[in-house]
A and B are shown apart, each in its own frame.
Chain A
Amino acid sequence: MNSSNLTRRELAEAIAERLGFSQSNCADIVDCVFDSMKKTLLEGEPIKIVHFGTFSVRSKSPRNGRNPRTGEAITIKKRRTVGFRPSRQLREEINR
């Protein structure tokens, strides 16, 4: 399995290569796309990207856990997180 990692930089390069924009513009463009997505999620709104998946803010109830290092029992507070549910097309693409 490939262990390489895709980052903002590779996304900017892909846009520059495929669409012919300058590299520095592309870095800003990529930031802009993820900033819009963050803004939407922070408003509590989910993002549905067809053929890819859905990002949504989920509330987690408090639960008891342990500090994995010390084994000490702690209460994990109620919190919010962002979840992702892959679309069927993405799952199929990955298992092809």
Chain B
Amino acid sequence: MNKSELIEALAQEINIPHREAAAITNTIINTMTEALANGESIEIRGFGSFVIKKYDSYEGRNPKTGKKIKVKPKKLPFFKVGKDLREQVNANKK
């Protein structure tokens, strides 16, 4: 499923024009992106949560050449699947 299929599913499900479903979907994604960019976490009950993890600068190696490099400090988003969804993906098919 990609974004346009998600928009299409929403338009059909609640019977609204495609254009409105697109605006809604984009608002959701943009709001989530802004929150993560501000270092906020996201918690969607039943689906999952996102947190930002901060990494300090560290000495790493280029895996191809083995050369030592300095990795700059960075932030990465982490997703943790929610309890409902986790139980459902496991109940579905073994």
Contact = CB atoms under 8 A, between A and B. Distances in A.
B: interface residue count bin: 35 or more
Given A6-B35, A32-B10, A90-B33, A41 B42 contact: no
B27 A14 contact: yes
Contact of A36 (B10, B38, B75): B10
A40 interface: yes
Given A15-B24, A49-B6, A91 B39 contact: no
Interface of A: 1-8, 10-11, 14-15, 18-19, 28-30, 32-34, 36-38, 40-42, 44-53, 55, 57, 79-84, 86, 90-91, 93-96
Interface of B: 1-3, 6, 9-10, 13-14, 20, 23-25, 27-29, 31-33, 35-48, 50, 52, 54, 74-79, 81, 85-86, 88-90, 92-93
